[in-house]
Structure 1
Amino acid sequence: MTEHADKLRADIRARLPEKLPARLGVAVSGGGDSVALLLLLNEIAQSENAELFVATVDHGLRPEAAAEAVKVGELAARLGVPHQTLVWDGWTGDGNLQDHARQARYRLLTEWARRNAISAIALGHTADDQAETFLMRLGRASGVTGLAGMPAVRDQDGVTLLRPMLKITRKQLRDYLTAKGVEWIEDPSNHDLRFDRIKARQALSGLEGLGITAGSLTRVTENLAQAREALVRYTQESARKVSMVDAGDICLDRRGIQDLPQEIQRRILVGCVAWIAGAGYPPRQSSVDQALNAIDEGKGTSIGGCLLVPQGNKMWICRELNAVLGESANPGELWDKRWILSGPSVAGAEIRPLGDKGLPKVPDWRELGKPRAALLSSPAVWIGDDLLAAPLAGFSNGWMAELAQETPEFHSSLLSH
């Protein structure tokens, strides 16, 4: 048992930062994978004087979930580790349940981390999860990025997500827990064939005769991750040659991007959309293909909350007005998750998009040489229906618009896509 536990700890430690964060979070659902991660990570944290914090997300989708979160809290208390349950009540019944739940889970976890000055969160994904993800994405005809699977490390809203168990199988973790006499919770959805992941799990069990296992598929994803890294570097180098950033928008040289391999074109476009509209799940392949055709033909289109606006041999990519119509903030606060406007103290001032009502009040906007659509979605300062300032449209009036400090430089951001 000791030798097995030592190997698991060593495998996990090898995939963590060289110096552990002083305050490290761990997401624990109560299932075998995350419970094992908590126990092993707690021993690592204690030996390196790092503080560990536990969070459990209750999606509110099963009546047992609240009691399961309580059990995780009890385990954390026995270990002397602070625990908090994060409740999601945002499911409306529309759309893809698993996708909405996944996005809500990451949002709740990163918000919890930022509130508690936790810089990184460890997640309990295993080699089995990686293999199942590969099979699901294979079924969707994903490219290199998708088939490279879940990254071991990635940034999510300023918080580092760590997956230190991607080389460890589910069976190894359950053997460890069984030997320690520690119980875990079995989610009944893990046997529900309505979900693609469970279908992939079942399919994987029937492929072992061909040598296709969680371990072998994990090695495939690692090989593809190396290929992805090479493509990312080439994408960044190419983007520096064919793109220019202008006040939060991106201007592409149409001829320059047309000369690039199609895969690199796709990556640059997806990177532009993520940088402008916020990094989330990338647009569907069909939407990307449609947008690339629009660039080829010099036509306008929309994708992922952004507009593509042709201007001669240029193609501007900017925020779509419809995506920010409901956005408002006080001066000095974050607007559309990336802009901060500051200026004279004025009672009742509010940040809203410039829009169709505001642009005619900026007489010199044409001198900027930018498309009208790019300015409509820019942040402006309003007092009721009166426009006070529109810094990005050439009407500063003592106000300044800056990208939030955590917003990466565009070309550098491509390294994370």
Structure 2
Amino acid sequence: MTPEIENVLEQLRAAEQPLGIAVSGGSDSMALMILAAKVGVRAHVATVDHRLRPEAADEARHVAQEAARLGYSHDTLVWTGWDGQGNLQDAARRARRRLLSAWAAERGISTVLLGHTLDDQAETVLMRLSRAAGVDGLSAMSARRFDHGMTWWRPLLGVRRATLQRVLRAEGVNWVSDPSNQDAKYARVRMRQLSPALEQAGLSGEALAQVATQMSEARAALDHAAATLGQQIVQQNGAALVVQSAPFWQAPPELRRRLFLMALDWLDPVGYAPRGTSVAQALADLQAGRATSLANVLARPRQRALWLYRTPESVSDLKCPATEIWGEKWLARSLSTETSHAHDLTMRALGPDGLAQLPQTPEKYRLRRALMVEPSLWQGPRLVAAPTVVPHPDWQIECKKTWCDNCAGILSH
């Protein structure tokens, strides 16, 4: 075993179990399953069949047979959502995450292993370079990432694919080859085909992976600085964020951009950042004193501050029982035993109807459209309470993930 493989084995031994292992049947993920079994990891295995190739079902059966030989359970997860529109690889990647996260949750698994290798990391850096990516893009793939309610772990990022294939040959284990991995219409394949010439010129996969590591460290430092700034100049006002204008515009442009993206993600956590050109235009509008919108967030300069809040349209249909969390953040709590009938109530955005029913006028400094997206409790068409707007003696609506929590979470990493 090479030092890189020994390092992977040591990490697997120390991991909290059980683990999930995503295995396509290719050499990388098959080797990952073999290595996990070598150190007695308790795990469950899943294969995603995208129904894009007729061979995929046989490949999933091959994985199932090998998993059974190793003493692992196996499930095949089928994706049927491709409508032929948009970016196929991106759609398939998102579908895999959704299917695997649901499967892992059902199995009581908090960490899923992915078989990405040093070669994949190097190819990702080359792809991002071709798009003139900055620090974040060149950070490429992280070894661990929390998303869809669980941790995705890539323990093989320091191992070459050829090393893993030698492991499989030594174990007498076959793997499958996806023909799309040879199709030059995909950017990743074109980068893979360039690799031998780049290696010969001195730009090795190891060097590219090291670039990703260094950019990841730079990214973490910038995120830390942006979160520190966010603690100092951003205040949560109900469901809105209020940013002090002067220190925001005095900050370096990259910190402004990161803080703005952090605010967008807190307000509307869609899991991906808007295009860089859209972010740049939104910031230019704000600096010129113009209100702007980006995705589902409105941003408006007002009284030496920038107000950011969800668009009323984006939350108008968002409803849930008052006993559940609304908008991924808000939870109602009864302050009186006489009014503990939360199961009879619905939580939704205040909206224009709720504004009209408020028992008193909110503070003048608060924006009307920002008030419309505040969480509120309803009994049919009747507003019961909107405690984040007007205090209520019987009800409180708590934010389960405050802006301060968000900044503290970044600073703790």
TM-score in same-fold range (> 0.5): yes
1:386 and 2:391 aligned? no
Aligned to 2:47: 56
Q: How does 1:230-245 map to 2 (within 5 A)?
A: 230-245=221-236
Q: Deviations over 1:160-212 (max 9, x none)?
A: 11111111111111122122221112112111222221122122333122211
Maintained 8 Å contact 2:321/2:343: no
Q: Secondary structure at the match of 2:321?
A: coil
Of 145, 152, 158, the match for 2:149: 158
1:322 and 2:317 aligned? no
Q: Per-residue deviation at 1:134?
A: 0.8
Q: How does 1:133-152 map to 2 (within 5 A)?
A: 133-152=124-143
Structure 2 unaligned regions, length at least 5: 335-339
Q: How does 1:3-402 map to 2 (within 5 A)?
A: 3-4=1-2, 7-13=3-9, 19-44=14-39, 46=40, 50-278=41-269, 280-343=271-334, 344-345=340-341, 349-364=345-360, 366-367=362-363, 369-394=365-390, 396=392, 398-402=394-398
Identity %: 38
Larger deviation, residues 219-228 vs 56-65: 56-65
Report the TM-score when normalising by structure 2.
0.90
Maintained 8 Å contact 1:338/1:407: no
Aligned to 2:337: none
Alpha-carbon RMSD across the aligned residues, in angstroms, is 2.5
* Matching residue's letter, 1:42: A
* Matching residue's letter, 2:182: H
Decide whether aligned partners of structure 1 residues 42 and 299 sit closer, same or farther in structure 2, where only a CA change above 3 A counts. farther
* Matching residue's letter, 1:403: C
How many residues are aligned here?
Answer: 408
Q: Per-residue deviation at 1:252?
A: 0.7
CA distance in 2, matches of 1:416, 1:30: 37
Maintained 8 Å contact 2:44/2:73: yes
Maintained 8 Å contact 1:9/1:41: no
CA distance in 1, matches of 2:72, 2:328: 32
Maintained 8 Å contact 2:239/2:373: no
Maintained 8 Å contact 1:375/1:392: no
* Matching residue's letter, 2:26: G
CA distance in 2, matches of 1:323, 1:369: 23
Report the TM-score when normalising by structure 1.
0.90
* Matching residue's letter, 2:396: M
Q: Secondary structure at the match of 1:250?
A: strand
Q: Secondary structure at the match of 1:409?
A: helix
Decide whether aligned partners of structure 1 residues 223 and 347 sit closer, same or farther in structure 2, where only a CA change above 3 A counts. closer
